Amino acid sequence: MTQEFYKEAIQHPIFKLIGETSQELDTDSFVIGGFVRDYLLKRGTPKDIDIVVIGNGIELAKKVASKLKGKPQVSIFKNFGTAMIKYQELELEFVGARKESYHHDSRKPVVEDGSLEDDQNRRDFTINAMAFSLNQSSYGQLLDPFDGLGDLEKKLIRTPLEPGITYSDDPLRMMRAIRFATQLDFTIELKSLQSITENKDRIKIISKERIVDELHKIILSKKPSIGFKLLHQTGLLPIILPELTALQGIEEIEGQRHKDNFWHTLEVVDNISENTDDLWLRWAALLHDIGKAPTKRFHKKIGWTFHAHEFVGSKMVYKLFKRLRMPLNDKMKFVQKMVLMSSRPIVLSEDHITDSAVRRLVFDAGEYVEDLMTLCEADITTKNPRKQRKYKNNFQIVRKKIVEVEERDHVRNFQPPVSGEEIMQVFNLKPSKEIGIIKEAIKEAILEGEIPNEYEAAYQFMLDKGKKMNLKIS
Ligand code: ATP
Ligand code: MG
């Protein structure tokens, strides 16, 4: 192995301190994993730093913390033999070097103390197994037993040991391989890819939370389709997100075809990723068509239909989140709302774009109208340049109209200009359905543009409506 040194990577005084402290404890320590990889990739120097110690990680962490300004707290995870210090903007994780051996009938490895090499052997990928020495005699030296550096250049995801062993020992690594391939735009070595395919069913023993963490990272990558294609290719996708796999395929009956909604969806996700970093809006793009699989029908006269797929899809979002143990909170509701409304702007832009239709869109989408437009623009995947231009242009018109209508009518966070109490007082009513009818009529009149969204106009409208309903003014 050539001796390469990267002292400039570990200029931060904390590294020197860790090196000196481990020397006092008569042991060696190294920075390892993501920090080294990202530094060598020129992705910057990450704030998460993993330190491996040939000895006791917790002891070293305590001693380092005691020397730091402000004596930061050490969080100890005894079960894992790790300790964490938050210092300035850094998160330092200390672990003793270990040797792991797995038995097929258990996911829990037998862990023993080990050497640096043992520790590097148990790491998932060659590019994640590289370390920089923090020891005085070799400060900054790169320790790279599996030629991770070469793999960085080749843009290759490769396991240090036999892939079959690596993935079977910890099936989460299958998700990690695909996640790193997506984040870094790397290729997974063929042997590895085959092994993931063979071991795909073992993903079932991994907790949903950890799978979802990796999915989030794939979705947040620059080009998420890389990851979804790999999930699809290896057969992991039908296990994790069968709703997406179900969108695959083109059917043809009597010469009528529909598009392949799986590949379309991946394009939409890539498109939206150019315009937003919002995880949940990206999830919405991923799921916007899932209702199309169960609603697909063929009609002799009109061809393929996906009737009410938006509604069905939004219901499926709930089940999917629940199955993956994702929180059933406002984020989920947001995704549901985007799926439910995902065809609205398109339908609107196909027609002559009226103010009242735009007002209804803004009313229904509320604060999320911008996000909805972003989703719908990403949904344009036609390869026909004329259609492409037409749709984009129409969406520009819709966007302009949204601004105009909003300035005039303020329906985005609609509050009824006349309250139920006021209606009760004016007509001397007890709580009753008449009040609901009048309120609804006022709202409709505003959305239709018959009256402006203002108190005076709404009050007058209420009086007229009451009269028509034979109500007496008290
Ligand atoms: P990022 O922080 O960007 O996700 P990372 O490489 O730092 O990337 P972490 O999950 O923080 O990933 O893990 C730190 C290091 O621990 C990795 O670089 C790798 O060496 C090792 N590692 C993490 N998870 C596993 C695993 N499941 N199997 C083997 N080694 C792992
Ligand atoms: Mg990390």
Q: What is the pLDDT of residue 65?
A: 97
Residue count of the chain: 474
Q: Using N-to-C axis directions, what is the helix angle for 433-448 and 355-365, rounded to 10°?
A: 130
Q: Which ligand is located closest to the Cα atom of residue 33?
A: 1
Tell me the pLDDT tens digit for each residue of 102-132. Answer: 876 667 788 888 999 999 999 999 999 999 9
Q: Is 173 in the pocket of ligand 1 (CB under 6 A)?
A: yes
Q: What is the pTM of this model?
A: 0.93
Q: Which ligand is located closest to the Cα atom of residue 160?
A: 1
Q: Report the C-alpha gap between 239 and 93 in whole angstroms.
A: 33
CB-count burial class (<10 Å; 0-12, 13-18, 19+) for 276: middle
Among 350, 319, 348, 345, smallest CA distance to 332 is for 319
**φ and ψ of 379, to 5 deg:** -75, -10
CB of 281 closer than 8 Å to CB of 339? no
Q: Which atom of ligand 1 is nearest to the CA of 172?
A: 27
CB of 2 closer than 8 Å to CB of 41? no
Say which residue the tokens 């209420």 belong to: 462
Q: Whose CA is nearest to atom 4 of ligand 1?
A: 34
Q: Is 128 in the pocket of ligand 1 (CB under 6 A)?
A: yes
Query: DSSP readout, 320-379?
Result: HHHHTT---SHHHHHHHHHHHTTTHHHHHHHS---HHHHHHHHHHHGGGHHHHHHHHHHT
Name beta bridge partners: 133: 30
Name beta bridge partners: 141: 5
Q: Report the C-alpha gap between 192 and 239 in whole angstroms.
A: 19
Tell me the pLDDT tens digit for each residue of 266-292. Answer: 999 999 999 999 999 999 999 999 999
Which residue from 38, 50, 84 has its CB within 8 A of the most atoms of ligand 1, so it is best to mutate?
A: 50
Q: Which atom of ligand 1 is nearest to the CA of 170?
A: 27
Q: Report the C-alpha gap between 167 and 161 in whole angstroms.
A: 10
Q: Is the pLDDT of residue 1 over 60?
A: no
* Alpha-carbon distances of 291 from 157, 258, 314, rounded to whole Å: 35, 15, 8
Q: Is 170 in the pocket of ligand 1 (CB under 6 A)?
A: yes
Instruction: List % helix, strand, coil for the chain (3-state, nearest 5).
Output: 55, 10, 30
C-alpha 34 to ligand 2 mean position (Å)? 5
Task: Name the residues around ion ligand 2, CB cutoff 5 A.
Answer: 34, 48
CA atoms within 13 A on the CB side of 163: 17
Number of other residues whose CB lies within 10 A of the CB of residue 473? 9
- Local confidence band at 258 (pLDDT 50, 70, 90 cut-offs): confident
Q: Whose CA is nearest to atom 15 of ligand 1?
A: 33
| Terminal C-alpha separation, the chain | 95
- Local confidence band at 348 (pLDDT 50, 70, 90 cut-offs): confident
Q: Whose CA is nearest to atom 21 of ligand 1?
A: 123
Among 209, 461, 162, smallest CA distance to 321 is for 209
CA atoms within 13 A on the CB side of 379: 25
- Local confidence band at 217 (pLDDT 50, 70, 90 cut-offs): very high
Q: What is the pLDDT of residue 125?
A: 98
Q: Whose CA is nearest to atom 2 of ligand 1?
A: 34
Q: Whose CA is nearest to atom 11 of ligand 1?
A: 34
Which residue from 40, 123, 157, 178 has its CB within 8 A of the most atoms of ligand 1, so it is best to mutate?
A: 123
- Of 321 and 2, which is predicted with more confidence? 321
Please enumerate in sequence order all residues whose Cβ is within 8 A of that of 223, keeping only pairs 6 or more positions apart, or say none.
182, 185, 270, 273
**φ and ψ of 405, to 5 deg:** -65, -40
CB of 205 closer than 8 Å to CB of 171? yes
Q: What is the pLDDT of residue 74?
A: 97
Q: Whose CA is nearest to atom 1 of ligand 1?
A: 34
Q: Is the pLDDT of residue 458 over 60?
A: yes
C-alpha 217 to ligand 2 mean position (Å)? 12
Classify residue 141 by its DSSP letter: B
3-state secondary structure of 133: strand
C-alpha 46 to ligand 2 mean position (Å)? 8
Q: Which atom of ligand 1 is nearest to the CA of 122?
A: 29
* Alpha helices, H only, 25-56: 34-40
Q: Is 123 in the pocket of ligand 1 (CB under 6 A)?
A: yes
Q: Is 124 in the pocket of ligand 1 (CB under 6 A)?
A: yes
Q: What is the pLDDT of residue 105?
A: 66
Among 95, 17, 8, smallest CA distance to 56 is for 95
Among 42, 17, 410, smallest CA distance to 31 is for 17
C-alpha 323 to ligand 2 mean position (Å)? 27
Classify residue 433 by its DSSP letter: H
Q: Whose CA is nearest to atom 26 of ligand 1?
A: 124
Token pair for 150: 């070469």
Classify residue 318 by its DSSP letter: H
Please enumerate in sequence order all residues whose Cβ is within 8 A of that of 154, keeping only pairs 6 or more positions apart, or say none.
none
- Mean of pLDDT over the chain: 94
Q: Which ligand is located closest to the Cα atom of residue 32?
A: 1
Tell me the pLDDT tens digit for each residue of 15-59. Answer: 999 999 999 999 999 999 999 999 999 988 889 999 999 999 999
